[in-house]
Amino acid sequence: MDYRKVQFFLAAVRCGSLTEAAAQLGVSQPALSKAIKALERSLGVPLIERGRFGVVATAFGEALRYHGQVVEAEFRHAAGEIESLKGAQKGHVIVGCGPTEATRLLPLALTRVSQSRPELKVSVLYGLNESLMPSVKQGDIDFALSSVPGRAQDPELLHETLFTESAVVVARSDHPLGRLRQVTPALLAQQQWVLPRQRELERQAFDDFFRGHGINPPNAQIETTSTVLMKAMVMQSDALTFIPRELIYWEERARQLRALSVAGVEWVRPVGMTRRRQGALSPASRFVMECLRSVAAQHF
């Protein structure tokens, strides 16, 4: 199988457009189409479907895409390894990052990276665990910096905990509940809420807290994956949210948001790095991960 043709196929599926993929690869569209058709002939199956809304992979194409992305990631790591052996301080690392980790941890670590290895390139893809974990498995990103499970749930992934943080009930700085020494679960259940979606770890902990007190979890008027929206809604209304405290680090200092004092069990979650079990990390990836470990140990 011609790896160059596989690269052309991956680019077409990733872009969803032959025109865009050709421009990205620096080839003509007819040359791109010819290469993909030749790959389809060699495999004896259709790999893509062309429609009104662009290009999508067939079931055969999805199988090739999954394995092809892993191979692509290994080639990227091999190139970084070779550069490292040549004595170059270069490389390209693709990191997946959750909202909490983008507040302080990753910026502090990237500052160290840029100071120590100014020619090392880092690309950061922002997302929640539901999108980051598949990207790690498929090789789209070298590792993810996000919530990690207390015990391994996927045999294809390796998790490393960097620190444990608390999640808190958040209100605007002048919210009436802020005057109370402690807020009870029963009183919280009566409030308006802007919350993460049900599948998120924070939301599961939130619901478990109320059930542990014999109270049905309150319904969220708004569910979102956007922490920016959560904080904006809380700042501009009486609504509350439940998010990791690190997410309001700067807003607390600016006296825009506050964590309410809630009676009951403390909510915590481990934060760390996740990578694929199979395959080697590039020297550049290992260096970025070491910077993250150092920052976490010093500041968290």
- What Rg, from alpha-carbon coordinates, does the chain have? 23
CA nearest 183: which of 209, 201, 220? 209
| CA 262 from centroid of its chain's CA atoms | 29
Q: What is the pLDDT at residue 50?
A: 85
Q: 57 with 195, same domain?
A: no
Q: What is the pLDDT at residue 84?
A: 61
Q: 170 with 150, same domain?
A: no
Q: 10 with 145, same domain?
A: no
Which CATH number goes with the domain that contains 44? 1.10.10.10
- Contact partners, residue 161, CB within 8 Å, separation at least 6: 148, 270, 271, 272
Counting the structural domains of the chain, the total is 3
Q: 236 with 206, same domain?
A: yes
Q: What is the pLDDT at residue 52?
A: 76
Q: What is the pLDDT at residue 87?
A: 44
Q: 117 with 147, same domain?
A: yes
Q: What is the pLDDT at residue 149?
A: 82
> How many whole angstroms separate alpha carbon 64 and alpha carbon 134?
16
Q: 275 with 235, same domain?
A: no
Which CATH number goes with the domain that contains 112? 3.40.190.10
Mean pLDDT per 10-residue interval, the chain, length 300 residues: 83 88 88 89 89 85 85 76 61 91 95 93 90 90 90 87 91 94 92 88 84 91 91 96 92 95 77 90 91 95
The distance in angstroms from the start CA to the end CA of the chain is 48
Question: What sign for the dihedral angle of Cα 96, 99, 100, 103?
Answer: positive
Q: 107 with 155, same domain?
A: yes
> How many whole angstroms separate alpha carbon 100 and alpha carbon 203?
15
CB 221 within 8 A of CB 192: yes
Q: What is the pLDDT at residue 67?
A: 84
pTM over 0.85: no
Q: What is the pLDDT at residue 263?
A: 75
Q: 102 with 157, same domain?
A: yes
In the numeric block, the tokens 């941890």 are attached to 105
- Structure token pair of residue 3: 């790896």
Q: 14 with 47, same domain?
A: yes
Boundary residue ending a domain (63, 84, 100): 63
Boundary residue ending a domain (42, 63, 84): 63
Is residue 77 exposed (0-12), middle (13-18) or buried (19+ Cβ within 10 Å)?
A: buried
- Structure token pair of residue 275: 């990578």
CB 115 within 8 A of CB 261: no
Buried b / exposed e along 227-256 (16+ C-beta atoms within 10 A): beebbebbeeeebbbbbbebbbeebbeeee
- What is the span of the domain harbouring residue 238? 166-267
- The neighbour count for residue 3, using CB atoms within 10 Å, is 11
Q: For the chain, where are the alpha helices, taking DSSP H only?
A: 3-15, 18-25, 29-43, 59-85, 105-116, 129-138, 185-188, 201-212, 227-235, 249-253, 283-299
Q: 93 with 173, same domain?
A: no
Which CATH number goes with the domain that contains 261? 3.40.190.290
Q: 78 with 144, same domain?
A: yes
Q: 136 with 151, same domain?
A: yes
Boundary residue ending a domain (63, 98, 114): 63
> How many whole angstroms separate alpha carbon 109 and alpha carbon 131?
23
